[in-house]
Structure 1
Amino acid sequence: MPLRLSQADLLAALDSEATRLAREANRVLPSDPVPSCPQWSVGDLVRHIGGVHRWATRIVTDGLSSNVEDDREFFAAPDDGSLLPWFVEGSSALIRALQAAPDDLQAFVFLKNAPPPALFWARRQAHETTIHRVDAQSARLGRMPSTAEAAIPTPLAVDGLDELLTGFVPRRSSRLRTDEPFRTVIAATDAPAAWTVSVSADPPVVTEGADPAAQSHVTGTAAALYLGLWNRGDDVAENGTVDLLGHWRDQVRVSWS
């Protein structure tokens, strides 16, 4: 069974990754390109994640039952040299809001099989921040970081894989489709975690565990799979008669909506 993190673990990861992101961004120029997100500069990246943190904070703090109608205010970052302090202020406010949120918080969530809202938002923002920290790291390196360089802890990676595969991938908006149905097992080599992804002309169906009759297997360390399935790395292997990774690279572009 996948290793799911507690609220405290997720908040610790969010805090750590926000700190690492700020550190990476401080080592480059706001105008520098982000290799893992070619359409963005570092400044664009920091404005995006800082705005996402403020958006999530509003939902959690106000217990909103639906998404905010106009989120432009959250992304109104300063144009001067205070961009990074603005980011740190937003991430700190998000952590405080999640720490103060009651376990029975009632608030808007947007993924299938979502955990309770307080846990959902801690989880979602921990992984949002982790992936964008890797993006900031790519700007410093001038290339995609290796799995070892990204240094994502195995439990965090397993939790993120579970969110991606059971939350994002099965949504009706998913473009992961094929006219000839197939099943692929995605399995970590360093943790007891595996999922079977059934792809067809309908939205994907994801189940925990490895189906022995699957047509292909995608394997790697949990961190390598985490990066690879977020389209941030290639340290994974695929064996079988179908090419899930080919379909994934062409069709899976995760967004929140």
Structure 2
Amino acid sequence: MTSLPHDRYCDEIAHQVGLLRALVTSGADLSVTVPTCPDWSLEQLLRHTGGALRWVELMVRTRAQEEIPEEKVPGADGPEGEGDPVALDNWLAETGEMVVATLREAGPDAKVWGWAGVFNAGFWARRMTHEITIHRADATLAAGLPYEVAPDIAADAIDEWLEIVEWAQRTLPDDPARELRRPGGSIHLHATDNTPDVDAEWFIDLAEDVIAWRRGHEKATVALRGPLTAVLLGFYRRLPLDSPELEVLGERELLEFWLERATFG
């Protein structure tokens, strides 16, 4: 499936960092537990997200051909001390500027260590776009604020998630995704809002050892319907299936079966 242009990802990373910074400076309680990542406080989530961006920045800037241990990334833990929104905001600002500048300079084809069978900077631009997009949802939900994301980014995040599941099924023998086989079973994702420039429907066939999927409207064993942002968050397990924004039609158990096993391992 064709991904978005490299510059679109770079622009979105900068945009998402700006939105995270706005959350920090809004007076949000940095000590609140993140419901969708209950092992973290909001501040820990933000430090994790910024640290991941700095890790990628170092790998792309140095054109690393093997994984760099996270403990070797300067500044990845965030500012000293906790509970200081000014320091955290400044660190996020610097982080965003660094990673976006490095990704733009590298371009999508620069050779860099990666996973999922893709070894270039373009992989990391896309991966970090969706990493920060989903973690901003975690942060926004923790702060009790509304969340929206651009339709092209939301749709591409679903595409990437399906590609990761495919990769895990092909290459990771112990990953729970290997269990995602149900002869005769299929899933349909259907965005109900008006997205004229985005084909925001998917069909996922679980009949074989590796999923087959495509964009489009097709009848399936179970369908998940709702606005595109809600479908994205439901599919990433950020919204429960019984949320008022979502509707499940057909065999709900099959969708739950998918959500339990489609993970990052």
- TM-score if structure 1 supplies the norm length? 0.83
| Cα displacement (A) at 1:66 | 2.1
Q: Hey, what's the Cα distance between the residues in 1 that align with 2:220 and 2:199?
A: 18
Partner SS, residue 152 of structure 2: helix
Tell me: CA distance 1:130–1:35, structure 2 relative to 1, closer, same or farther (3 Å).
same
Note if contact 1:166-1:206 (Cα within 8 Å) is conserved in structure 2. Answer: no
Note if contact 1:188-1:222 (Cα within 8 Å) is conserved in structure 2. Answer: yes
AA matched with 1:195? W
AA matched with 1:77? G
Match of 1:199 in 2: 206
Tell me: CA distance 1:178–1:90, structure 2 relative to 1, closer, same or farther (3 Å).
closer
Match of 1:120 in 2: 123
Match of 2:139 in 1: 136
- Give unmatched runs, 5+ long, in structure 1: none
Note if contact 2:165-2:262 (Cα within 8 Å) is conserved in structure 1. Answer: no
Higher RCO (C-alpha 8 Å, min separation 6) = 1
Match of 2:96 in 1: 91
1:4-36 CA deviation, whole Å, 9 max, x = no partner? 421122111111111111211332233222122
Match of 2:33 in 1: 33
Between 1:27-36 and 1:130-139, the stretch displaced more is: 27-36
AA matched with 2:136? R
Between 1:88-97 and 1:228-237, the stretch displaced more is: 228-237
Note if contact 1:3-1:158 (Cα within 8 Å) is conserved in structure 2. Answer: no
- Percent sequence identity is 25
Tell me: CA distance 1:96–1:218, structure 2 relative to 1, closer, same or farther (3 Å).
same
Match of 1:57 in 2: 57
Match of 2:238 in 1: 232
Match of 2:79 in 1: 78
Note if contact 1:195-1:206 (Cα within 8 Å) is conserved in structure 2. Answer: no
Tell me: CA distance 1:207–1:252, structure 2 relative to 1, closer, same or farther (3 Å).
closer
- Give unmatched runs, 5+ long, in structure 2: none
Note if contact 2:203-2:214 (Cα within 8 Å) is conserved in structure 1. Answer: yes
Note if contact 2:222-2:255 (Cα within 8 Å) is conserved in structure 1. Answer: no
Is 2:174 aligned against 1:171? no
| Cα displacement (A) at 1:253 | 2.9
Between 1:175-184 and 1:33-42, the stretch displaced more is: 175-184
Match of 2:116 in 1: 111
Partner SS, residue 116 of structure 2: coil
Q: Hey, what's the Cα distance between the residues in 2 that align with 1:201 and 1:103?
A: 32
Tell me: CA distance 1:222–1:169, structure 2 relative to 1, closer, same or farther (3 Å).
farther
1:207-229 CA deviation, whole Å, 9 max, x = no partner? 21358463222233322221111
Match of 1:13 in 2: 12
Match of 2:155 in 1: 158
Tell me: CA distance 1:90–1:179, structure 2 relative to 1, closer, same or farther (3 Å).
closer
Q: Hey, what's the Cα distance between the residues in 2 that align with 1:123 and 1:160?
A: 9
Note if contact 1:21-1:132 (Cα within 8 Å) is conserved in structure 2. Answer: no
1:15-60 CA deviation, whole Å, 9 max, x = no partner? 1111111211332233222122111101211110111001110111
Partner SS, residue 239 of structure 1: strand
Partner SS, residue 31 of structure 1: coil
Note if contact 1:25-1:42 (Cα within 8 Å) is conserved in structure 2. Answer: no
| Cα displacement (A) at 1:205 | 1.0
Question: How many residue pairs get matched?
Answer: 244
Note if contact 2:29-2:143 (Cα within 8 Å) is conserved in structure 1. Answer: no
User: Where has structure 1 moved over 4 Å in runs of 4 or more?
Assistant: 210-213
Match of 1:188 in 2: 191
| Cα displacement (A) at 1:237 | 2.3
Match of 1:100 in 2: 105
- TM-score if structure 2 supplies the norm length? 0.81
Q: Hey, what's the Cα distance between the residues in 2 that align with 1:57 and 1:168?
A: 25
